[in-house]
Structure 1
Amino acid sequence: MERYHLTEGDSGKHDGRPVIYDGVAIKIYEDEDPSRILVQFTDGITAYNMIKKARIAGKGRINNAVSAMLAGHLERGGVRTPFVRLVSADSQLCTKTDVIPVEMIVRNVIAGSMARRLGIEEGIRPGNTIYDLCYKSNDLGDPLINDHHAVALGLVTYAELQEMYSMTEKINSILLPLFKGIGIDLVDFKVEFGRLPDGSLMLADHITPDNARFWDIRTGERLDKDRFRRDMGKVGDAYREIHSRLLSVSPFFGSDISDIRQMSGH
């Protein structure tokens, strides 16, 4: 993994680059290398399919750092991620894939939409890991689908789904003990996958407090986007806490952590 030394306050300026995706929380730009993209994490935050929007100061930099650290950890565990290297405090270079419009949600603890949909109390830990599929469509509100829907819609093949489940299970098995070691319960998270030119699949997503639920094991405090969804306040503090705890185990991440430390001022 290449290293790029950052200085505190260094932010990406990508004027002139063609924009591939102009989202509230993430912007994606073309790179000189057609096999790569530039991903910029912004301070924007949304909930309920863009109905609720705000800006959280410093969130983009935190998500960039958290994403990079977790990508490095997954790579060492044998999971291919899109992360190539850090480019600035809020941006990273990533491998370009043909993203499959299927979102996979991993649930280790009952929370959020599943609790509401099925009338189950939040916080219950099922005896099995639950995997949900959602069709990525803003117009339809990312509806819940099953394997057969995904294949019938031409989104994936059964063989690809099997591989996606296998990779997601591996990601979960790698991240659960990592977060437990820093006192965090990995409640659930979302991932997407993409196809490479040779047809193989790889993770095409970034795991951050924007798309995962992190609860403090001791207190049950929520340290993720639920604080924004539910008007709980201290959203930035929660994101910084996740960042800080991951930095606290920096020797485990290896020498490339120096980039993250410089970026965060640690």
Structure 2
Amino acid sequence: MKHIYTGKTKDVYEQADGSYLLQFKDDVTGADGVFDPGANTVGLTMEGAGKAGLRLTTFFFEKLKEKNIPTHYIDADIDKATMTVKPASVFGEGLEVICRFRAVGSFLRRYGKYAVEGQPLDAFVEVTLKDDERNDPPISDDALDMLGILTREEYARLKELTREVSKIVKEELSKKDLELYDIKLEFGRLDDGSIVLIDEISGGNMRAYKNGEYVEPLNLEQLMLADLL
């Protein structure tokens, strides 16, 4: 295997057949030992987080496959904490797409003059540039188009897919009496130019609450997959 990329929460390798292998790690994003799915730094290491994230990611990617939502997912090996995926190129040097159902985290920090914590939001979609040096700045569809990162048509598709995926995740969580507050997703282009969901869908990239209390990523995986473990 050829090492392609070392990320905050996973490493990427190219396999002989052209597919990519994602190696999930126990690191999660945050700051000062506190988890934050929107953070651009590794905040802490949680033993078992890699496999937990992969279990939940596999669960959701299989659900999306059933609903014909395009992703890069091929298969996964939970014991090895690896996932095999189709090769996909990112937009520019990478975008993160957040779908928000309630006002928390960076949304509240930016718009706290007008929003209150936990305020309902109508699947608000926000795109940020992956740029640690500039703290992952939000960017509009006009700017994405003008900078040659994403066309307006591609942005519309990105937004559509984000809402579709996020609402499916929200529905699945609700079956376990969990409420999704926000989720961070990533997308890329396959060789044929089609836009697909990439990366992962795990407790490490979403905020979920039960009875008004925040649920830690490892607990989220246990609650979601209790019937399967």
TM over 0.5: yes
CA distance in 1, matches of 2:15, 2:201: 22
1:72 Cα deviation after fit: 0.6
Larger Rg: 1
Partner of 2:17: 33
| Alignment length (residue pairs) | 216
Residue 193 of structure 1 is matched in structure 2 by 187
Q: 1:46·1:53 contact (CA, 8 Å) conserved in 2?
A: yes
Task: Please state how far the C-alpha of 1:243 moved relative to its aligned partner.
Answer: 1.6
Query: Which residue number corresponds to residue 98 of structure 2?
Result: 105
Distance (whole Å) between structure 2 residues aligned to residue 246 and residue 87 of structure 1: 19
Equivalences for residues 72-83 of structure 1 within 5 A: 72-83=62-73
Secondary structure at the aligned position of 2:108 is classed as helix
Secondary structure in 1 matching 2:56:
helix
Indicate conservation of the 8 Å contact 1:81/1:202, yes or no.
Answer: yes
- Offset, 1:91: 0.8
Q: Please give the residue correspondences for 1:1-266 in structure 2 after superposition, counting only pairs within 5 Å.
A: 17-34=1-18, 36-47=19-30, 48-50=39-41, 53-89=43-79, 90-100=81-91, 101-119=94-112, 120-126=115-121, 128-216=122-210, 218=211, 220-223=212-215, 238-248=216-226, 250=228, 266=229
Deviation of the 1:55 alpha carbon: 1.5
Q: Deviations over 1:103-132 (max 9, x none)?
A: 211001111011111112221113x22111
Counterpart of 1:239, as a letter, is: P
Per-residue CA deviations over 1:85-106 (Å, capped at 9, x if unaligned) read 1134211111110112222110
Q: 1:83 to 1:113 in 2, by over 3 A?
A: same
Residue 235 of structure 1: aligned partner? none
SS in 1 for 2:120: coil
Inter-partner Cα distance in structure 2 for 1:176 and 1:44? 24
Contact kept in structure 1, 2:13 and 2:20, CA below 8 Å: yes
Structure 1 contact 37–96 (Cα < 8 Å) conserved? yes
State the distance in 2 between where 1:246 and 1:129 align. Answer: 22
| Residue ranges of structure 1 left out of the alignment (5+ in a row) | 1-16, 224-237, 251-265
In percent, how many aligned pairs have the same letter? 26
Question: Is contact 1:77-1:174 (8 Å) kept?
Answer: no
Letter in 1 for 2:125: Y
Give a deviation string over 1:37-56, Cα, whole Å, max 9, x none: 00011011232432x53321
1:182–1:245 CA contact under 8 A, matched in 2:
yes
Q: TM-score, normalization: structure 2? A: 0.88
Which aligned segments of 4 or more residues in structure 1 are displaced greater than 4 angstroms? none
Amino acid aligned to 1:206: E
In structure 2, do the counterparts of structure 1 residues 167 and 110 end up closer, same or farther at CA, with 3 Å as the change threshold?
A: same
CA distance in 1, matches of 2:64, 2:185: 13
Supply the AA of the counterpart residue of 2:169.
L
In the TM superposition, what is the alpha-carbon distance from 1:82 to its structure 2 partner? Answer: 1.7
Q: Kindly indicate whether the alpha-carbon contact (under 8 Å) linking 1:31 and 1:38 is maintained by their aligned counterparts in 2.
A: yes
SS of 1:108's partner is strand
Q: Which runs of 5+ in 2 are unaligned?
A: 31-38
